[in-house]
Chains A and B, each alone.
Chain A
Amino acid sequence: MRPTMDVSELLQAGASKQKSIQVEKEIPLDIDIGYLAATDPNPIDEEEYKNNREEYLQSVARDNAQLLINHLFSLPIESSQDGPLAKLPPPTTTLPRAKPLPKPKPPTKWEKFAAAKGIQKKRTEKKIWDEEKQEFRDRWGRGGKNKELEEQWLVEVPANAPADFDPVKEARDAKKKRVAKNAAQQTKNIQRAERSNASASLPQEREKRKTELERDLAQTRISTASMGKFDKKFQGEPKLRGVKRKFDPNEKSADSEKASALAILSKLDTSRPSKRARAEGGDDVLNVRKAIRHESRTGGLSGERTGGRPGKDGKGRGGKRK
């Protein structure tokens, strides 16, 4: 008979060494695995918190970290150089960007033209075959083929060339001109793009500002007693329409007069004094500081300033006649 072995004890011992990864929560966590974050909607246990705060916080953190790890290990996992890599889904929490979304690059003048004509983009190879040397050479750059003419030791001079004709200089100048032209075209393309960007984003702001300004202007115009009739006008200033001076009739019913007077009075009564006046004088509506400033500027109350600037009276037209 074969000896039987009871492995249940061994299994139990092994199981007790290995701790569980199960965590029980009354309300499941709200996990945003894209940002590796979890929000625990369960309220805190106040008693535990008061008795032993740090241990309680750590136990909560452990449970939630375990749930996050469980979630992470359940994601599709790929192998990588640094070990297994969990593929994360896009996050669900909305965080603001640091910069606005990139705008599509506006086409250059050539690109527009090419699109209109249906010209396909061709890729230019950097190397070009040199028939003479029987090898591939760079199209441009150091030892480039575009400098061929400049580096020639013997050049045919055209018949009508001036005496100081320098073929090398001629070739180099022509090349430099082409480069400069291309640079200028690039700058113009950038400027065009910026202008179109600006005009795309600005109009709302501009329009808003324009209407605001127009409203302010109209308000200032009708703020004089003559409603702007004698104001200085600028060229091209639009004429204000539909604005008329209005007068109350000379004879008014006693009721309406009383009502209007009461309206003014009630306004006076409820209007709150300024912050500073309240702070300084309590109930006193008069802003003392402001009043003093006003008086000192106009020199109304004090008679001390009469001899202040004696020279001023002597100047002017009267002085010239003497």
Chain B
Amino acid sequence: MLRVVKPKNARSKRAMLAREPQEVEPAKTAIFVKGSTTGERLNGVLRDLMALKRPNAISFSKKNAVHPFESTDSFIFWAQKNDAPLFLVGTHSKKRPHDLTLIRMYDSRVLEMLELGVDAYVPMSDFSGRKPPPGHRPLMTFDSPLFDTHPRFQQVKSLLLDLFNGEQIDGITLAGLEHVVQVSLGPLPASFTNESTEGKDLPPVHVRCYAMRFLASGQRTPRVELEPIGPALDLSLRRHQPPDEDLWRAATRKRKLEKRDVESGLGRKRKNVAVDEGGDMVGRVHVGRQDLGKLQGRKVRALKEERGAKRRRVEEGQMETEE
């Protein structure tokens, strides 16, 4: 007999329903895990990143003897228990000092892992800028062509985007735009090639945070000025575990669109419809091919047929047939 878990009251029923798979998923919750030995730097990094991720963040601030690349059992358990698919793990060892590991789960299984070394860190508290209140979504910029081409940086981009902006939303309040998260790369080392995956051959990753200030520009769109608010991280790429292909395919599967939605223009490219700078929707319509044969050219007397010429021609034709 299969065991059926039945909620005992309405509250637990709601909680169970909220944990069931949903078509459009809410923001992913991240768990910030402190390893068995973390220094001041890592503690600060975890604290500041958590401040940016709030309210979808859970802190595991006690010492946890975890080694993500050796055993992932704890993460699978925690992910299930807390309904959280993202992990940021801070560990520190002599071999890999100031180690920050990002783990992404799918269906309570480890999808991928990425290990980053925190080479330099300036905490949020060292900046005077206005800190964003919790729950505000940042703008994100990834400032290197490698984020689209190199597999290791594609992973970096995908994970950081998922961490800060992974939720799909219909609209955003323009007044609620507070800060920018910039992820950029340093200059490429001499040993860099497109195939290199080792950390020492790859450029460092800079993560910076800025608060936005809107100035009048004389137009509807304001001028943006930035002010650093921290944290400022210089990261180097270390070990990684790319996603299993089958698991990735399962995780990126899309809902089959219903006929009604397809007809209303969802799921396919909407052609010839655009929004102009004034916010108006502008359409372009094809009016059919013009028949140039019927085009009225310039009326010149010389091209005009003589009066009665037509009649005369018809009479001649008749005479010919009679003959």
Contact = CB atoms under 8 A, between A and B. Distances in A.
Interface of A: 14-15, 18-21, 30, 34-44, 46, 49-50, 54, 57-58, 60-62, 64-66, 68-70, 72-78, 80, 82-88, 90-91, 93-103, 187, 190-191, 194-195, 198
B240 interface: no
B76 interface: no
A58 B208 contact: yes
Nearest to A194: B2
A42 B252 CA distance: 29
Interface string B161-195: 11001101111111111001010111100000000
A89 to B, nearest CB: 9
23 contacts: A19-B223, A21-B221, A21-B223, A36-B140, A38-B139, A42-B143, A54-B228, A57-B184, A61-B143, A61-B226, A62-B225, A65-B180, A74-B221, A83-B175, A85-B172, A86-B174, A96-B252, A97-B106, A98-B105, A99-B21, A101-B255, A190-B6, A194-B2
B142 A40 contact: yes
A44 to B, nearest CB: 6
Interface string B205-247: 0101010101111111111111010001000000000010000
A84 B141 contact: no
A58 B180 CA distance: 10
B113 to A, nearest CB: 13
B141 A61 contact: yes
Contact of A66 (B168, B173, B224): B224
Nearest to B85: A98
Interface residues of B, number: 80
B34 interface: no
Contacts of A21: 217, 219, 221-224
Contacts of A93: 158, 161
Contacts of B219: 21
Contact of B4 (A20, A38, A190): A190
Nearest to B214: A69
Contact of A100 (B2, B107, B169, B182): B107
Count chain A CB atoms within 10 A of each CB in B141, B216, B276 and give the residue with the most.
B141
A68 B143 CA distance: 13
Contacts of A57: 143, 182, 184, 206, 208
Contact of B171 (A46, A87, A98, A102): A87
Contact of B180 (A61, A77, A97): A61
Interface stretch (B57-65, B95-103, B144-152, B313-321): B144-152
Given A40-B144, A61-B180, A19 B161 contact: no
B310 to A, nearest CB: 60
A49 B234 CA distance: 14
B49 interface: no
Contacts of B220: 73
Given A58-B228, A69-B212, A73-B220, 8 more contacts: A19-B217, A21-B222, A40-B141, A72-B172, A96-B252, A98-B25, A100-B107, A195-B2
A74 B20 CA distance: 37
A44 B226 CA distance: 19
B114 to A, nearest CB: 14
Contact of A78 (B138, B171, B187): B171
Contacts of B147: 39
A66 B6 CA distance: 52
Nearest to B248: A96
* Cβ-closest 3 pairs across A and B: A96-B251, A98-B85, A64-B141
Count chain B CB atoms within 10 A of each CB in A34, A64, A87, A91 and give the residue with the most.
A64
Contacts of A97: 25, 106, 251-253
Nearest to A62: B226
Contacts of B224: 21, 62, 65-66, 69
Interface in B102-133: 104-107, 111
Given A65-B180, A66-B224, A75-B275, A35 B248 contact: no
A77 B173 CA distance: 9
A119 to B, nearest CB: 25
B145 A65 contact: no
A87 B174 CA distance: 10
B137 interface: yes
Contact of A191 (B2, B104, B206): B2
Contact of B28 (A69, A73, A86, A98): A98
A87 B169 CA distance: 9
Given A21-B219, A37-B139, A60-B184, A76 B277 contact: no
B297 interface: no
Given A36-B140, A65-B139, A19 B172 contact: no
Nearest to A191: B2
Contacts of B165: 35-37
B262 interface: no
Contact of A86 (B1, B171, B184, B217): B171
Contact of B172 (A36, A64, A91): A36
Given A37-B140, A83-B175, A18 B281 contact: no
B263 interface: no
B214 to A, nearest CB: 8
Contacts of A86: 171-174
B140 A38 contact: yes
B322 interface: no
A20 B223 CA distance: 7
